[in-house]
């Protein structure tokens, strides 16, 4: 996926008090030599984990909910591909990806618009300007929790949107209490040119996302 720009994620609404979430440090990472040995098994673990964190929104959009494990994999892959081993460069990668780890009061996701044919994708990205601001989650009967999109940098202009966005869903204490009490979780997109709703979100995804809030 695209490397996110360095960012500080702002709060909004009435967030619950967040727990201290451990961000990744250099000590958490495998060296290039270690990763070469462990990569196949680590990749299998991560891919199995990701199956519970992908949420399709219709046929051409999906949310990939990130967490510490998915970000470790992303950093390790970037270090491997770019043959990065110097401390300063590793810290730059960590600074880019650590903000995508949820903080205990929110969910963070990579939002992908997925049209396999290049020409169709070009046309649709022009038709879907602003779609990243139309993604929502809904918990029980509470008001929708709208995505906060691309806090690090703009990825849309007046003529087209990007195929990749980074989203944050900030949850209030009411949202979290309702989830933990068994309220249904729904998700969707409410854009004039693309509407989708998933209700309820599958139990395996719901369970995985609840773990982000413990």
User: What is the predicted pLDDT for the residue at 20?
Assistant: 52
Share of the chain above pLDDT 70, in %: 90
Return all residues near 184 (Cβ < 8 A) that are at least 6 apart. 139, 140, 199, 200, 201
pLDDT at residue 17 is higher than 50: no
Task: Please check whether residue 189 is in contact with residue 112, taking contact to mean a CB–CB distance below 8 angstroms.
Answer: no
Q: What is the pLDDT of residues 64-119, one digit of tens each?
A: 999 999 999 999 999 999 999 999 999 999 999 999 999 999 999 999 999 999 99
Q: What is the pLDDT of residues 87-100, one digit of tens each?
A: 999 999 999 999 99
Domains of the chain: 27-53+68-101 (no CATH), 57-66+102-214 (2.60.40)
User: What is the predicted pLDDT for the residue at 151?
Assistant: 86
pLDDT at residue 1 is higher than 60: no
Q: What is the pLDDT of residues 146-190, one digit of tens each?
A: 999 988 778 888 999 999 999 999 999 999 999 999 999 999 999
């Amino acid at each position: 996926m695209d490397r996110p720009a360095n960012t500080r994620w702002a709060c909004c609404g009435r967030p619950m008090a967040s727990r201290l979430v451990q961000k990744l440090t250099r000590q958490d990472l495998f060296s290039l030599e270690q990763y070469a040995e462990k990569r196949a098994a680590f990749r299998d673990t991560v891919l199995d984990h990701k199956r519970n964190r992908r949420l399709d929104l219709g046929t051409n959009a999906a949310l990939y909910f990130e967490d510490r494990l998915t970000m470790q994999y992303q950093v390790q892959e970037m270090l491997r591909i770019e043959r990065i081993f110097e401390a300063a460069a590793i810290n730059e990668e960590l600074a880019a990806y650590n903000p995508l780890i949820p903080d205990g009061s929110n969910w963070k996701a990579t939002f992908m618009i997925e049209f396999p044919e290049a020409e169709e994708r070009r046309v649709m990205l022009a038709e879907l300007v602003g779609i990243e601001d139309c993604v929502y989650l809904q918990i029980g009967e509470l008001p929708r929790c709208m995505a906060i999109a691309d806090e690090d940098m703009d990825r849309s202009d007046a003529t087209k949107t990007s195929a990749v966005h980074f989203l944050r869903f900030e949850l209030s204490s009411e949202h979290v209490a309702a989830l933990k009490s068994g309220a249904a979780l729904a998700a969707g997109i409410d854009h004039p040119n693309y509407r989708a709703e998933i209700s309820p979100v599958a139990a395996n995804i719901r369970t995985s996302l609840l773990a982000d809030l413990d």
